[in-house]
Amino acid sequence: MTAPSSSSSRQRLYVGTIATYCPETAQITKPLPIYSDQVITIGRGPACDYVVNDTHVSRKHLQIYTVLYDRENPDDVAPLVYARDLSLNITTWNGYTMGSRRGSFLLSDGDILEIGGDKYIRFNSETHGGLTNAVKAREVSLLSREFMLTGRKIGLGGYGTVYMAYRRVDGKQLACKVLDTRLLKEKVIITVKQDFGMFHEHAARGEEEPPNAAMKGVYRDYIRMRLKEKLGIVQQEAMILKDLYHPNIVSLEKVVYSQDTFYIFQELLTGGDLFSYVHFKGGKLDNMEAAAIVRQITKALLYLHDRGIVHRDVKPDNILLATLEAGCRVVLSDFGCATRVTSTGRMATMVGTIPYRAPELLERRYTKAIDMWSLGCLTAVILTGEPTPDPEVMSWSDVLGGDGGTLKILSIFYAHSLRPRAQDFIFKTMAWKAEDRMTARQALAHEWFTNPAHHQSFLDLYTRAIKDWVPRNTGEDSVVRISAYAETESEILATQDDEESSDEWPSEESLEEEDQIAEGVCHEEASLTLSDLGLPRLFRGLSGTDPEELDEVAVESE
């Protein structure tokens, strides 16, 4: 379908068309172009943007909205158009039940939405997608016994592409990152050549390998070591995530691996990340909305710390929102730097993101208290909109550890009118000495969340936020070979090469022996981790939207 001519506008990007559809004749009528700055309401009410006159259709039945991955380069990843069910009546997506409790559904070209039992809406877009060469047709066919991997590209990572997938049994939409280890190896080789080029003229001349036999062995060993480090991130994260079941921690559905490809399935979160959400809200959040979000992150950290797991990279970019509604479920993601605490309780690997690093990280002797420091930094950032209190320094610890650091931070808090309870929470999570810092359990009991005026409101809000969360089936293996899906003799024979040539997945015991993350590896390049799927930054042009279209946080202001 041809896009309207006005799509060239930077403020209004054409993203697709909805139309009434007749399944018997395949006839399409009443087409309506959709633009990225719109929230389209479908229903029988006269105020709806797309009116369907039928008594079985609710007054407001569906809502259509758009998330852009890259506004400047929309061809890299097509605009993500979502349908949200607002009705208690029957609504389906390609024959699968939607329902308001299942969240928003990502739409692809040709999708059919059935509303009211016998009315159909078809969505069309110019970008049809298509799986890349990295996805093997045979493996996708085997996976289809459980998951349907579509060609709908929803993100780009350092070593793979993220596609929309769904479970065949119930249509639950998922994000699937397809990680090509051949591409990973090629990038490792390029990096190693650059490293060797600093010391050896032959590498600088572009020679494939060092001519000296001894140096050639060192070169190849270094490549193997670097590749093992990269794959170790994927493997360690999978072993950590597979045992986690919490509404505020990203849910890993399954990891399927073959000789040269990982297929990583996890829950699809449609609200974007916290960093983008803060920008969407004008650069910072108000006191109560920030408290509601921070409380959920704190609950996630308490769950991790009670199980001897440290995240080590808590920051707004790694917090995902289940929807765009105020007070929605908030999820901690990207466990690429996470590790299990050893018997001593101390770690030494230099990881994380500089502005959020705790001061003791530089001493290479730290505990799970580093997560609480990062939480304090995150809280300050979303309340003030300031990456650091001083543009001349790189981190909050640099400011707090310098002359007059506390006064500088207090002046920032005063300039942004932070409430006393929020300030106290931040300073207690950012106590300079780790042993003086609040634990996750103490933070959850802080008066910012538990004061008599707001405590019950927070409890009720959290109950509403997680009411639709469903933990995955714990009775199935979360990490399997592609051969597990082979049934016929020909399929079994075809997967035998993978069994013989691919490395064994390491045991849980071997991964727990020591920290698998090398110095800085988890974020030295574009992330390849399971939970950091390269999902879109939130960008919606809602300046003309009625504020009542979005729910408000049902708590009174402090």
**Looking at residue 318, which CATH number applies to its domain?**
1.10.510.10
Q: Which of 273, 397, 354 is nearest to 524 (CA)?
A: 354
Q: Select from 466, 485, 520 the last residue of a domain.
A: 466
pLDDT of residue 4: 47
More confident residue, 58 or 71: 58
Residue 345 pLDDT greater than 60, yes or no: no
Q: 539-546: list long-range contacts, CB under 8 Å, 24+ apart.
A: 539/67, 539/68, 539/71, 539/276, 539/280, 540/36, 540/37, 540/65, 540/66, 540/67, 540/68, 540/280, 540/324, 541/11, 541/12, 541/36, 541/37, 542/37, 542/39, 542/280, 543/37, 544/37, 545/39
Is 502 within a domain?
Answer: no
Share of the chain above pLDDT 70, in %: 75
Bridge-based pairing state of the strands 40-43 and 119-124: unpaired
Q: Select from 128, 150, 165 the last residue of a domain.
A: 128
Residue 339, SS3? strand
Residue 134 pLDDT greater than 50, yes or no: no
More confident residue, 326 or 421: 421
Residues 289 and 394 in one domain: yes
pLDDT of residue 200: 55
Residues 303 and 434 in one domain: yes
Residue 157 pLDDT greater than 70, yes or no: no
pLDDT tens, position by position, 11-33: 578 889 999 999 999 999 999 99
Residues 462, 327: Cα–Cα separation, whole Å: 8
Q: What band does 286 get if pLDDT is binned at 50, 70 and 90?
A: very high
Q: Which of 80, 79, 20 is nearest to 50 (CA)?
A: 20
Q: What band does 201 get if pLDDT is binned at 50, 70 and 90?
A: low
Residues 263 and 283 in one domain: no
pLDDT tens, position by position, 378-425: 999 999 988 877 677 778 887 887 777 788 889 889 999 999 999 999
Residues 548, 78: Cα–Cα separation, whole Å: 28
pTM recorded for the entire structure: 0.78
Residues 444 and 416 in one domain: yes
Residues 53-59 have a mean pLDDT of: 92
Residues 415 and 329 in one domain: yes
For 489, other C-beta atoms within 10 Å of its C-beta total 8
- For residue 146, the domain's CATH number is 3.30.200.20
Is 433 within a domain?
Answer: yes
Share of the chain above pLDDT 90, in %: 36
Q: Does 177 carry a binding-site annotation?
A: yes
Residues 320 and 404 in one domain: yes
Residues 178, 111: Cα–Cα separation, whole Å: 23
Residues 215-234 have a mean pLDDT of: 78
Residue 188 pLDDT greater than 80, yes or no: no
Domain assignment of residue 388, given as a range: 271-466
Q: What band does 554 get if pLDDT is binned at 50, 70 and 90?
A: very low
Q: Is residue 226 within 8 Å of residue 192, measured between CB atoms?
A: yes
More confident residue, 337 or 52: 52
Residues 353 and 286 in one domain: yes
| Backbone phi and psi for residue 265, each to the nearest 5 degrees, phi listed first | -105, 130
Lowest mean pLDDT among 131-135, 182-186, 477-481, 539-543: 539-543
Residues 109 and 171 in one domain: no
Lowest mean pLDDT among 278-282, 392-396, 515-519: 515-519
Counting the structural domains of the chain, the total is 3
Residue 142 pLDDT greater than 80, yes or no: yes
Is 526 within a domain?
Answer: no
More confident residue, 342 or 107: 107
Residue 147, SS3? strand
Residues 497-503 have a mean pLDDT of: 56
pLDDT of residue 464: 93
Residues 2-14 have a mean pLDDT of: 52
Residues 534-538 have a mean pLDDT of: 55
Residues 457-485 have a mean pLDDT of: 86
Residues 173-195 have a mean pLDDT of: 80
Q: What band does 44 get if pLDDT is binned at 50, 70 and 90?
A: very high
More confident residue, 465 or 77: 465
Q: What band does 324 get if pLDDT is binned at 50, 70 and 90?
A: confident
Beta bridge pairs of residue 330: 321
pLDDT of residue 309: 94
Is 298 within a domain?
Answer: yes
Q: What band does 147 get if pLDDT is binned at 50, 70 and 90?
A: very high
More confident residue, 183 or 50: 50
pLDDT of residue 532: 57
Q: Which of 155, 122, 101 is nearest to 325 (CA)?
A: 101
pLDDT of residue 400: 81
pLDDT of residue 245: 92
Q: Which of 549, 553, 532, 531 is nearest to 540 (CA)?
A: 549
Is 503 within a domain?
Answer: no
Residues 242 and 298 in one domain: no
Residues 172 and 94 in one domain: no
Average pLDDT, the chain: 79
Q: Select from 128, 152, 168 the last residue of a domain.
A: 128
Residue 446 pLDDT greater than 90, yes or no: yes
Residue 5 pLDDT greater than 50, yes or no: no
Q: What band does 6 get if pLDDT is binned at 50, 70 and 90?
A: very low
Is 525 within a domain?
Answer: no
Residue 289 pLDDT greater than 70, yes or no: yes
Residue 534 pLDDT greater than 60, yes or no: no
Residues 290 and 424 in one domain: yes
pLDDT of residue 524: 37
Residues 441 and 347 in one domain: yes
Q: What amino acid is encoded at 36 in this protein?
A: S
Residue 42 pLDDT greater than 90, yes or no: yes
Which amino acids are annotated catalytic?
A: 313
Q: What one-character DSSP code corresponds to residue 154?
A: E
pLDDT of residue 527: 45
Residues 308-313 have a mean pLDDT of: 92
Is 515 within a domain?
Answer: no
Q: What band does 549 get if pLDDT is binned at 50, 70 and 90?
A: very low
Residue 461 pLDDT greater than 80, yes or no: yes
Q: What band does 10 get if pLDDT is binned at 50, 70 and 90?
A: very low
Is 512 within a domain?
Answer: no
